[in-house]
């Protein structure tokens, strides 16, 4: 096969699948399982091959992470040295943007320009997290009287399992892994079975950057087998899961065995709330982006438009005009805005929602067309008006480029509609009225709010959801704290007062 970096530079498909073994205790690991081939959803051709770990393979990975944590080869290093390794990782990611982006696009179907952007942004997250290695700290209490001193010591939680989804494989991993490492934890990563290769390439870069063996291990395979076993594992101290709400629920139950700490980043049904005084051109462009970006396969997709009745028609027309210019197609063609749907199952699921929308009496404004010719899966961005707030289109996470439009007359109705779903991941508010914006950002139930913008931000602010969108936060200084435990220490100064005089 031609060198991978040459293929990436030429944006040619590989002539045979790129093989990526697992990574345990600092070495490639093949185990006894067979290679499973992944076809590019944008090309219908086999592009990569990965392995399906057994529970035994997982046990080896957890044991390696356990040893690496317990002997302090990573947690015992000064923050300065941990930061130096993470900064080197960031540099290596930057040096390998083209190859990582190429592999990401082949497996996920996202446009190549978007993949390059995500990999580059991920390097920035590693840099940010590196700095935190020297900042994370505990607390002290000198108010407990002359004979007592209090300390709150912040320590790494231990061995962490990180389970990631297929929609942003490299970026989402980079919103979690460097923070766990900054805290001093060791890790077993289980990437999504459809998109494991960039995680495995990253593992090699970690070693090149000087990360000690065993600190990060990657096992691949089925979520129902190896993901479940990781969540249940008695020797894992925390599980950080990013994926769908139903699977998150089962991870929560599985974690109960040893009461491991749990972080869950789950689904969303995120409203774009547009008040009558909003800048409709700004909003229209963002609404089109919010539903079409990553073909709508985005936890924070703005999949519901909740708009004041007086501007609904005008706004929908403007959104339609923007979407008419969106190019959907070959993800390796840098001129396309939207690539492929990740796989047949997801494609069928989205089409099912489009059919249900029509059946339920919603009005199809644009899109609705889908093609799966040659095992290449594309769906045109789709907008439905007159969607009933209780219908599947308005309530369920479609995870595709399908926008459901509902209208309101009063502020209270807007908030009620925005909050009227089981999720609470993200929301966008569009208004020129400062007071209205603040009142809504207080009342809307979501972990993340964007005012007059959407799907933006860096690692400084925390991410996560309320209600059935998750538990805990990632990124920001809060993101590191998630991977720590607090220990309270009372120090007696002088003699302890006697119980029996
Ligand atoms: P998924 O829940 O099907 O799978 C996610 C990961 O969990 C995969 O690695 C999968 O192999 C693994 N898994 C499957 N069954 C498991 C089990 N029983 N135990 C442990 N792990 C298991 O989700 P997906 O289809 O890969 O991703 C799409 C979903 O992820 C959407 O619901 C989306 O909203 C959500 N998501 C959330 C965020 C966030 O930050 N909130 C980010 C991205 C995606």
Beta pairing class for 139-141 and 46-51: unpaired
CATH 3.40.605.10 segments of the chain? 4-266+469-487
Average pLDDT in the chain: 97
CATH tag for 271-451 (out of 2.60.120.10, 3.40.309.10, 3.40.50.300, 3.30.390.50): 3.40.309.10
Q: Above 60 in pLDDT, residue 283?
A: yes
Q: What is the CATH number of domain 4-266+469-487?
A: 3.40.605.10
Model pLDDT for residues 69-83, shown as the tens digit of each residue? 999 999 999 999 999
Give the mean model confidence (pLDDT) for residues 249-259: 98
Q: Verify whether residue 265 is a known catalytic residue.
A: yes
Nearest protein CA to atom 30 of ligand 1, as residue: 243
Give the tens place of pLDDT for each residue, 82-126: 999 999 999 999 999 999 999 999 999 999 999 999 999 999 999
Rounded to an integer, what distance in angstroms lies between the CA atom of residue 190 and that of residue 428? 31
Asked if residue 62 has pLDDT above 80, the reply is yes
Residue 33 predicted with pLDDT over 70: yes
- By most ligand atoms within 8 Å of CB, the mutation choice from 247, 263, 459, 467 for ligand 1 is 247
pLDDT digits (tens, 9 = 90+) for 174-210: 999 999 999 999 999 999 999 999 999 999 999 999 9
Answer whether residue 1 shows pLDDT above 60: no
Of 423, 468, 463, 426, nearest in space to 446 by CA: 426
Find out whether 23 and 31 touch, Cβ atoms under 8 Å.
no
Task: Report percent pLDDT > 70 for the chain.
Answer: 100
Question: Which of 191, 223, 252, 465 gets mutated to test ligand 1 (max ligand atoms within 8 A of its CB)?
Answer: 223
Give the residue whose CA is nearest to atom 11 of ligand 1.
223
**Of residues 98, 107, 118, 265, which has the active-site annotation?**
265
Residues 35-59 have a mean pLDDT of 97
- The sign of the CA dihedral 229, 231, 232, 237 is positive
d(CA 195, CA 200) in angstroms, rounded, equals 10
Q: Which residues of 302-325 are buried (b: 16+ CB within 10 A; e: fewer)?
A: bbbbbbbeebbeebbebbbebbee
Total-model pTM: 0.97
pLDDT at 2: 65
* Predicted pLDDT at 34: 86
Q: Which residue has its alpha carbon closest to ligand 1 atom 34? A: 267
* Ligand 1 proximity of 343 Cβ (cutoff 6 Å): no
- Tens digits of per-residue pLDDT, 312-340? 999 999 999 999 999 999 999 999 999 99
3 state DSSP class of 68:
helix
The structure tokens listed for 259 are 């009461």
Distance 223 CA to ligand 1 centre (A): 9
How do 22-24 and 27-29 pair as beta strands? Answer: antiparallel
């Amino acid at each position: 096969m031609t060198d991978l970096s040459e293929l990436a530079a030429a944006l040619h498909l590989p002539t045979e699948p790129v093989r990526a073994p697992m990574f345990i205790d600092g070495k490639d690991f093949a185990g006894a399982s067979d290679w499973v081939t992944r076809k590019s959803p944008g090309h219908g051709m086999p592009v990569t091959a990965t392995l399906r770990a057994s529970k035994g393979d997982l046990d080896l990975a957890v044991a390696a992470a356990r040893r690496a944590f317990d002997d302090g080869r990573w947690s015992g290093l000064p923050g300065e040295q941990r930061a130096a390794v993470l900064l080197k990782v960031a540099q290596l990611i930057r040096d390998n943007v083209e190859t990582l982006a190429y592999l990401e696009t082949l497996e996920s179907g996202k446009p190549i320009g978007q993949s390059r952007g995500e990999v580059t942004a991920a390097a920035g997250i590693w840099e940010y997290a590196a700095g935190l290695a020297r900042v994370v700290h505990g607390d002290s209490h000198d108010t407990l009287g002359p004979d007592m001193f209090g300390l709150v010591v912040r320590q790494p939680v231990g061995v962490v399992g990180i389970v990631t989804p297929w929609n942003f494989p490299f970026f989402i991993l980079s919103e979690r892994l460097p923070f766990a490492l900054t805290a001093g934890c060791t890790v077993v990563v289980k990437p999504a079975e459809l998109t494991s290769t960039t995680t495995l390439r990253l593992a090699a870069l970690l070693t090149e950057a000087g990360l000690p063996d065993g600190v990060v291990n990657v096992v691949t395979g089925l979520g129902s087998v190896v993901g479940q076993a990781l969540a249940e594992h008695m020797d894992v101290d925390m599980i950080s899961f990013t994926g769908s709400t139903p699977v998150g629920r089962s991870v929560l139950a599985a974690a109960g065995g040893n009461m491991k700490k749990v972080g869950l980043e789950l689904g969303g049904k995120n409203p774009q709330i547009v008040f009558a005084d909003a800048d409709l051109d700004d909003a229209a462009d963002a609404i089109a982006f919010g539903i079409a970006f990553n073909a709508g396969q985005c936890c924070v997709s703005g999949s519901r438009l909740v708009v004041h009745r007086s501007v609904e028609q005008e706004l929908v027309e403007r959104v339609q005009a923007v979407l008419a210019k969106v190019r959907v197609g070959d993800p390796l063609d840098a001129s396309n805005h939207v690539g492929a749907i990740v796989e047949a199952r997801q494609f069928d699921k989205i089409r099912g929602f489009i059919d249900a929308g029509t059946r339920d009496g919603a009005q199809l404004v644009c899109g609705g067309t889908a093609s799966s010719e040659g095992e290449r899966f594309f769906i045109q961005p789709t907008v439905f008006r007159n969607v009933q707030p209780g219908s599947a289109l308005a309530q369920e996470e479609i995870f595709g480029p399908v926008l459901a439009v509902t209208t309101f007359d009063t502020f209270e109705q807007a908030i009620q509609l925005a909050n009227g779903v089981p999720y609470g991941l993200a929301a966008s508010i569009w208004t020129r009225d400062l007071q209205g914006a603040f009142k809504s950002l207080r009342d809307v139930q979501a972990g993340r709010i964007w005012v007059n913008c959407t799907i933006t931000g860096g690692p400084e602010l925390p991410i996560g959801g309320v209600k059935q969108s998750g538990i805990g936060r990632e990124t920001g200084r809060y993101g590191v704290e998630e991977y720590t435990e607090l220990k309270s220490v009372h120090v007696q100064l002088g003699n302890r007062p006697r119980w029996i005089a």
